[in-house]
Amino acid sequence: GAVVSQHPSRVICKSGTSVKIECRSLDFQATTMFWYRQFPKQSLMLMATSNEGSKATYEQGVEKDKFLINHASLTLSTLTVTSAHPEDSSFYICSALTGVSYEQYFGPGTRLTVT
Amino acid sequence: AQSVSQHNHHVILSEAASLELGCNYSYGGTVNLFWYVQYPGQHLQLLLKYFSGDPLVKGIKGFEAEFIKSKFSFNLRKPSVQWSDTAEYFCAVKGNNDMRFGAGTRLTVKP
């Protein structure tokens, strides 16, 4: 089946620094990738939709200048949390949409802790 | 805007009990419907999906779901749960190009 990876799986950073999270579709091309945020014991909240070669579409309330998304190729999307603050600590999950079956496959997530 | 409602926040069952988790959605167009499961410490896994055709969908691990268009519902069922079914279950609706998730239902199965 389709596999989506995320790197890193866990990251701890200091307040004010920036962190980049990578999302890769390993065995298929994904024209569309999604970034979600999951708070403890809560559901996934869609942050943005990323289309290869174009600007990401952000959900209401998500700061585009804080959460920079780049979808440079059909297999890679990156999320950069800029000037991170403790309230940005969360579990970030990406998913990739296959063009064949239009199913979404999820990555394992990245746990970000900002100290 | 589309939305997904899962009415049960936490369900506790004994092994062999039957399970039904509710999911209702609000969306005006054609939708694809999904149930995902998240076992403790693991990432989301697809249980089953409905795109079209037979509204009764069978998924992995003995789960099934029924799409009732008139009720905008896609409830998840399993005739006899096992301790290993303890997990968080998410209903999701995909319309156009994005996917919305319900708040999730935590299922605890007591041995």
pLDDT, one tens digit per residue, over A18-44 is 999 999 999 888 888 999 998 876 778
SS (H, E, C) chain B: CCEEECCCCEEEEECCCCEEECCEEECCCCCEEEEEEECCCCCCEEEEEECCCCCEEECHHHCEEEEEHHHCEEEEEECCCCHHHCEEEEEEEEECCEEEECCCEEEEEEC
Which amino acid is residue A103, in one-letter code?
E
Residue A101 token pair: 């079956």
Min Cα distance A82 → chain B (Å) is 24
Residue in B90, B99, B102 closest to A104 by CB: B99
Read off the tokens for B51: 């795109």
User: Which SS3 state, helix, strand or coil, does residue A28 take?
Assistant: coil
Residue-wise pLDDT for B52-100, tens only, equals 899 999 999 999 999 999 999 999 999 999 999 999 999 999 877 677 8
Residue A102's pLDDT is what?
65
A6, closest residue in chain B (CA to CA): B43
Lowest mean per-residue pLDDT among A46-55, A58-67, B95-104: B95-104
**Is residue A80's pLDDT more than 90?**
yes
Overall average pLDDT of the A60-64 stretch: 92
